[in-house]
Amino acid sequence: MHIIESGNVAAALGVKLSRAQVIAAYPITPQTPLTEKLSEFIESGEMEAQYVPVESEHSAMAVCIASSSAGARAFTATSANGLLYMHEQIQWAAGARLPIVMCVVNRGVGAPWTIWNDHQDSISQRDTGWIQYYVNDHQQIIDGVIKAFMLAEEVMIPVMLCYDGYLLSHTYMPFEVPEASAVDAFLPPYKPAYALDPENPANLNTVTMPDVRLDAKGRLAHGYMEIRYLLQEDLIRTIDVMARIDESFRKHFGRGGSPYYETYQCEDAEFIAVSLGSLSYHLRDVVDMLRADGFKVGVMSVHLYRPFPAEAIADALAGSTGIVVFEKALSYGYQGALCSDIKSALYHKGVDGSRMPFVHNYILGLGGREIRTTDLCEAFRKSCTEGAAPTDELRWLGLKI
C-alpha cells in the first residue's frame, strides 16, 4: 500500500509493524507527532503495546531499559536536548546490551535555544556504544525502523535511527507501507537469551570489579574491560550483520542493497560530495548542475555511521581525486566528525602507495540556517577547481560574520 504522509508517521508505522511492546513517550519538538501517532494506534486497538508517558527523557530511556531487561521489544524517540538529557541512560542501555530502538529526529541543541534542524544532537552521542543509522527519505524511515529492530536483537546492541527534523519529520512524501504479514515473516518475535523473571530473581549490572573474578556459581566472569572489549567487537561485527539484514530485507520487499551508503553519479566521478541525511538529496541537484558544466562529480550519503564501515567507504572513495564533506555538525575544537572519520578510513590507502584524494570540509546548516543550492554549487565547484590545498581548513558555508 502506498500512502502520502509525514516522516514521523512513517516512523510510527514502522514501529507498529515491528510489533513493539513498550512505547516510552515524552514530547519534544520535532519528535512529538511520532509518539502521538503511536498513542493513537494503541488507543484504537490497532497496536497491542504498553504506552508509558513519563516525566522526562531520562525516564523514557529508563522505561526502555527496564522493559527490555524483562524481555519486551522497546521503543522511544527524542530530539536535541532531550537526547542529551538521556545521556547517562544511553550509556547504560549500550553497556547492558539491550536491543532498544530509538528514533532521533535531528535538531540543534542549546544554548542558545533552537528548534531547527542540524545533526549536533546525535553526533554528540556517537561514542556511547549505540549503532547509528541515518536515513534520507520517508521510505528509508519506515524500512529503517523495521531493520533496526532485527539488527538490534541479533547483535544485542541498541540502535538510533536518525532523520532530519522538519525536512523529513513534518514533510509529506509518498512511501510504501509493507503488509503486516510480510513484516512478520521478516522480523520474528523478540526472544531474548536472558530476561528478568520473578520466579528466578537476579541482579543485573551490579558493580563490576576491574579484574576478572569468580561469580556466585564459581564461574570465571568478565571484568569491566572485557565487557567493553566484547561490545566493541560486536559493534565491528555489526557491519557484516547489517549487510546480511539489508540483503534479506531486499529479498522480502524488493528494496535495499545499500546497507552502508548510497551513491549518485559516482561511477566515473573525480570529485565526490559526502554527507549524512537528506542533505545528500539536495546535493544531487548540485551534482546535476556541475555535470552540465563538465565536472565529473557525484554524491555519497553515509547511512551506517556507527559502527563506521571504514573499509567499504574507503574503497568507494579512494579512486577519486577529491572528497568534499558537507556536515551539519562538528567536533568542537577540530573539524566535522564525519570528515575526521573519512580521513582516517582513507589513511591506509595512502600507506599502501595509492594516491590519496584530498579532503575538504564544510560546516553548514547549523540551527536550521538555510542551505542554498547556489552556495552548495559554488563551494563544491571551488573545491573541484582549486585542488588539494589546503586540506585542513575548516570551511563554513552560509556564515554571516
Q: What is the mean pLDDT of the chain?
A: 95
Mean pLDDT of 394-401: 94
Residue 349 pLDDT: 79
The tens digit of pLDDT for each residue in 114-168 reads 999 999 999 999 999 999 999 999 999 999 999 999 999 999 999 999 999 999 9
Higher pLDDT, 196 or 94: 94
Mean pLDDT of 251-276: 96
The tens digit of pLDDT for each residue in 39-53 reads 999 999 999 999 999
Mean pLDDT of 68-77: 97
The tens digit of pLDDT for each residue in 350-384 reads 666 567 899 999 999 999 999 999 999 999 999 99
Residue 84 pLDDT: 98
Residue 153 pLDDT: 98
* Residue 187 confidence (pLDDT) above 80: yes
User: Does the predicted model carry a pTM greater than 0.85?
Assistant: yes
Residue 390 pLDDT: 57
Residue 351 pLDDT: 60
Answer CATH for 261-397 from 3.40.50.920, 3.40.50.720, 2.40.10.10, 1.10.3720.10: 3.40.50.920
Residue 45 pLDDT: 97
Task: Give how far the C-alpha of residue 102 lies from the chain's centroid of Cα atoms, to the nearest Å.
Answer: 10
Neighbours of 33 (CB within 10 A): 20
Mean pLDDT of 86-95: 98
CATH superfamily ID and name for 2-186: Thiamin diphosphate (ThDP)-binding fold, Pyr/PP domains (3.40.50.970)
Share of the chain above pLDDT 70, in %: 98
Higher pLDDT, 372 or 401: 372
Least confident of 31-40, 62-71, 352-361: 352-361
* Residue 291 confidence (pLDDT) above 60: yes
Where do the CATH 3.40.50.920 domains begin and end in the chain?
Answer: 261-397
Residue 201 pLDDT: 86
* Residue 391 confidence (pLDDT) above 70: no
Mean pLDDT of 93-108: 98
Distance CA 112, CA 127 (A): 24
Where do the CATH 3.40.50.970 domains begin and end in the chain?
Answer: 2-186
Mean pLDDT of 328-344: 97
